[in-house]
């Protein structure tokens, strides 16, 4: 007797048998044969909302109408190099040729319906579940049972990806799901997602202080520090987890290999929802109209959820302590059997795993690593982490003392982490910290330093070596710096002075935005060539408020050149050759700055962290002109 094989496009023969037996059975309550027996979380979902999930996924499932292994084609996707593999399948780089006018790179994940294989104990449990419906199982072979279990698991993962991509407009720090491919006779399910060109997050390096090329690309800076990238990772991943929290999704497998890095968007993104859960409030159950029955249903759902939440899921080194507690004789503390949950807040599981990931980035090692799985679990519960004085930064403290707090009731939440990020003003570029930590306050600090100057001697231009630059006008030694401003002089934007310190640093976006060169492009409109002293009309094109400065001091400053955009008019779409290479396909034009020389070293003016009362008056300019500082 032939069976209808399980697929995402149609119900399997087993599912049809169950539905026939369950047709007249009330959901959630009477479907449980023993009131003391708690069904599995996924069993409850399969019995009650499998139809809802299938209907939700229908617009995103495409039948496989073309599969040519010799030409490496599946439907309209040209399969390229392998970029990853795991126990469930492989991930390929692929070219989407569905639109000849707009070919682009995607990631193509192939999941074999016969993998992974299950133990005999797991198979027997599944058969016992099906027998509750009084259906015939003697004619079911191992491969059919395995296929059915794997398709159900894969359907759940795709459902979570779809919801996290399209519900509430999604989030740019979650890898975007595009579509999936399947057919009744196919041995594989293909999942299409967005392409992140820098691959999985890397963290292992020769020594703790060194940085990786992947990190440098994401921040557009070869001179970044480890802490700068760690702050970037925390900012991006906490945004992603905050979105998951709001959507009621617990990831349960946060680790570097499940974090993808997009060099075009300059973002880190969370991927792989195979271990994910939805809290009961986020599941689309249809409850009984009777309030008494509804309460009983809710009680069963919550118990199912707690039972699943307390299972050890994920990679051992990233498992939180509340999931891997053991008794003195080495057996697991099975509190779930008594309905006493060890895990009260499932979202704290992801906070711990994110803390382990950040620990890897900062300290170049796993915080807890034993010789085997159980030794690792023992260390997670018993070993205490400490910080050296040299590592006594706010981020190190956050990771070690708050995110890796063993007590989940005390452990920091994602909401608290986001508040800490705002408090430390991390929405601005972390790279700005490397200029004495004060460039973040830019113009405000600049004025404070000016107002605190105590020098009373005038700047002697006789003692200053002339600046050898034909673009600058020579200044005579008897030049008088009057407090009155010459209206014919072109005003200089003070903001441009500070920009010269931060031009080449990446600027972090607002909440949910890109890290981009927005600051550079904004200067393009307002920064014209002002190397000759004859033009004064260009000041009208400036969009920012200007402060008039007498001509002599203006002429000592070489205004930085306008940004040069690389010519992207002839940029090509993705080609098949790109599939076999690591060629990045930039989404944005590259902006380069011409080098600036002979600029006054304003760092001398913004190194003081003391708050000094100041007002924007011409007296401050006088103090500035009297300052005996070095010029570079």
DSSP-H helix ranges across 477-584: 494-502, 518-526, 551-555
| 3-state SS class at 174 | strand
**Angle at the Cα of 560 from the Cα atoms of 558 and 565, rounded to 5 degrees:** 155
* Residues 307, 86: Cα–Cα separation, whole Å: 27
CB 253 within 8 A of CB 353: yes
> What is the CB neighbour count within 10 angstroms for residue 609?
11
Query: H/E element holding 79?
Result: strand 77-86
Residue of 441, 510, 505 lying closest to 235 (CA atoms): 510
Residue of 310, 247, 243, 317 lying closest to 279 (CA atoms): 247
Q: Which residues on neighbouring strands pair with residue 591, listed in sequence order?
A: 565
Residues annotated as catalytic (active site), given as ranges:
253
Query: H/E element holding 567?
Result: none
CB 354 within 8 A of CB 254: yes
DSSP letter assigned to residue 631: B
DSSP letter assigned to residue 137: -
* Residues 331, 377: Cα–Cα separation, whole Å: 12
* Residues 362, 370: Cα–Cα separation, whole Å: 20
Q: How many CA atoms lie within 13 A of 267 on its CB side?
A: 26
Residue with tokens 């010519």, as numbered in its chain: 567
* Residues 546, 528: Cα–Cα separation, whole Å: 14
Residue of 64, 92, 84, 77 lying closest to 187 (CA atoms): 64
* Residues 402, 5: Cα–Cα separation, whole Å: 49
DSSP letter assigned to residue 492: B
Query: H/E element holding 228?
Result: helix 226-246
Q: What is the largest CA-CA distance in the chain?
A: 107
| 3-state SS class at 191 | strand
* Residues 517, 519: Cα–Cα separation, whole Å: 5
CB 557 within 8 A of CB 475: no
Dihedral pair phi/psi, residue 153, rounded to 5° = -65, -45
Cα dihedral 472/474/477/483 (nearest 10): -50
What is the C-alpha end-to-end distance of the chain, expressed in Å?
87
Residue 469: CB partners within 8 Å, gap ≥ 6? Answer: 558, 597, 598
CB 137 within 8 A of CB 127: yes
User: Kind of pairing, strands 61-63 and 177-182?
Assistant: parallel
Confirm whether residue 109 is marked as ligand binding. Answer: yes
Residue 441: CB partners within 8 Å, gap ≥ 6? Answer: 606
SS3 per residue for 301-370: HHHHHHHHHCCCCCCHHHCCHHHCCECCCCCECCHHHHCCCCCCCCHHHHHHHHHHHHHHHHHCCCCCCC
Residue ranges for the known binding site for ATP are 109
Annotated binding site: 109
């Amino acid at each position: 007797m032939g069976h209808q094989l399980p697929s995402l496009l149609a119900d399997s023969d087993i599912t049809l048998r169950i539905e026939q037996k369950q047709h007249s059975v009330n959901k959630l309550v009477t479907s449980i044969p023993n009131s003391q027996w708690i069904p599995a979380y996924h069993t409850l979902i399969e019995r009650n909302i499998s139809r809802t999930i299938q209907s939700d996924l229908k617009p995103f499932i495409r039948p496989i109408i073309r599969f040519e292994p010799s030409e490496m084609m599946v439907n309209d996707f040209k399969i390229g190099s392998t970029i990853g593999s795991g126990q469930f399948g492989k991930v390929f780089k692929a070219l989407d040729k569905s639109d000849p006018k707009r070919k682009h790179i995607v990631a193509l994940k192939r999941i074999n319906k016969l993998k992974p294989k299950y133990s005999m104990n797991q198979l027997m449990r599944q058969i016992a579940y099906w027998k509750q419906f009084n259906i015939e199982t003697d004619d079911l072979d191992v491969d059919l049972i395995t296929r059915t279990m794997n398709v159900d698991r894969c359907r759940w993962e795709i459902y979570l990806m779809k919801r996290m991509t399209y519900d509430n407009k999604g989030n740019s720090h979650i890898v975007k799901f595009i579509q999936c491919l399947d057919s009744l006779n196919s041995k594989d399910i293909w999942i299409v997602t967005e392409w992140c060109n820098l691959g999985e997050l890397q963290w292992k390096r020769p020594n703790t202080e060194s940085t990786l090329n992947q990190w440098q690309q994401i921040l557009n800076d070869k001179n970044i520090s480890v802490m700068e990238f760690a702050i970037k990772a925390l900012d991006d991943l906490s945004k992603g987890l905050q979105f998951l929290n709001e959507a009621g999704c617990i990831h349960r497998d946060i680790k570097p290999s499940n974090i993808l890095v997009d060099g075009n968007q300059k973002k880190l993104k969370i991927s792989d929802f195979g271990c994910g859960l939805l809290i009961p409030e986020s599941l689309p159950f249809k409850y009984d109209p009777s309030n008494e029955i509804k309460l009983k249903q809710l009680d069963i759902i919550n118990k199912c959820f707690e039972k699943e939440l307390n299972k050890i899921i994920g990679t051992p080194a990233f498992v939180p302590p509340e999931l891997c507690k053991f008794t003195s004789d080495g057996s697991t503390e099975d509190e779930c059997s008594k309905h006493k949950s060890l895990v009260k807040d499932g979202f704290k599981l992801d906070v711990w795993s994110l803390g382990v990931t950040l620990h890897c980035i900062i300290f170049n090692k796993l915080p807890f690593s034993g010789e085997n799985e159980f030794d690792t679990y023992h260390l997670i519960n018993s070993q205490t982490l400490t910080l050296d004085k040299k590592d006594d930064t706010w981020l190190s403290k956050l990771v070690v003392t708050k995110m890796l707090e063993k007590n989940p009731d005390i452990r920091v939440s994602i909401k608290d982490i986001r508040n800490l990020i705002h408090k430390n003003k991390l929405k601005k570029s972390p790279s700005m910290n490397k200029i004495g930590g004060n460039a973040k306050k830019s113009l405000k600090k600049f004025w404070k330093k000016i107002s605190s100057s105590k020098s009373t001697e005038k700047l002697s231009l006789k003692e200053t070596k002339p600046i050898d630059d034909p673009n600058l006008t020579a200044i005579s030694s008897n030049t008088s710096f009057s407090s009155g401003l010459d209206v014919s002089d072109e005003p200089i934007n003070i903001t441009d002075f500070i920009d010269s310190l931060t031009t080449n640093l990446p600027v972090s976006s607002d909440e949910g935005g890109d890290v981009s060169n927005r600051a550079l492009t904004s200067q393009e409109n307002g920064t014209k060539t002002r190397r000759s002293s004859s033009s004064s009309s260009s000041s009208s094109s400036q969009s920012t408020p200007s402060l008039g400065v007498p001509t002599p001091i203006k002429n000592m400053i070489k205004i930085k050149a306008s940004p040069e955009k690389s010519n992207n008019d002839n940029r090509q779409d993705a080609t098949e050759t790109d599939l076999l290479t690591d060629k990045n396909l930039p989404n944005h034009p590259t902006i380069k700055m011409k080098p600036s020389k002979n600029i006054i070293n304003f760092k001398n003016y913004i190194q003081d962290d003391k708050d000094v009362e100041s007002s924007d008056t011409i007296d401050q300019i006088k103090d500035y002109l009297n300052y005996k500082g070095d010029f570079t």
